[in-house]
Amino acid sequence: MTHPKLIIVGGSLATGKSSISKMIAQNLSVQRISLDEIKEAMFDLGGYRDREWSKEIGRMSFPIFRDLIGLHLSRGESVVADATFLWLSDLDWLQEFSECYHAELIQIWLTADPAIARERFLDRANTDRHPGHNDAIEHVMDEFDERFFNKTFIPLPIQGKTKIVDTTDFSTVDHDAILGWI
């Protein structure tokens, strides 16, 4: 009997989580669950206002994100989950899911030069980012510079395997190597 895989794609802002998780889901024919996409659906339903509203929608979205992952795993289905996974509190529920559903926990950790990630973030905020995130430069750059763009984050210390992928230059990311490693 094969066990489902819980493939988490994490990293700081603008490191390419959505791009890499979509590639993995498509190539492995597994369900992809994105915290940002759940938040965007909730913005579309409930509207968007200011940064505090955006944070509250984020808090409301997280249990849905987690429950959808659990639902797939409970059916023996592998899933790729896309979120920052920056906080140690994520470790508890991820390990619990891995044990409860006999799922292999696999972490793809994306990293990029913080200055490059910041540039990507600015470009995205000014072009195609959902307005509900309230990423308007004048509202969030001081906060995000302090929280995200002046440091490098490390992967969660999961009980499973971890692959660190530097996405500073997307053209050098070897998708086949990532898929083969999984």
Q: Is the pLDDT of residue 38 over 70?
A: yes
The pLDDT tens digits of the residues spanning 169-179 come to 999 999 999 99
Say what the pTM is: 0.89
The pLDDT tens digits of the residues spanning 92-141 come to 999 999 999 999 999 999 999 988 988 888 887 776 765 655 555 666 76
Please report which confidence band the pLDDT of residue 13 belongs to, taking 50, 70 and 90 as the band edges: confident
Report the mean per-residue pLDDT for the chain.
89
Please report which confidence band the pLDDT of residue 69 belongs to, taking 50, 70 and 90 as the band edges: very high
* Identity at 160, one-letter amino acid code: G
Residues listed for the chain: 182
3-state helix, strand, coil in the chain (%, to 5): 55, 15, 30
Which domains, and CATH codes, for the chain?
5-181 (3.40.50.300)
Rounded Cα gap, residues 79 and 72, in angstroms: 7
Strand partners, 9: 82, 108
Q: Is the pLDDT of residue 22 over 90?
A: yes
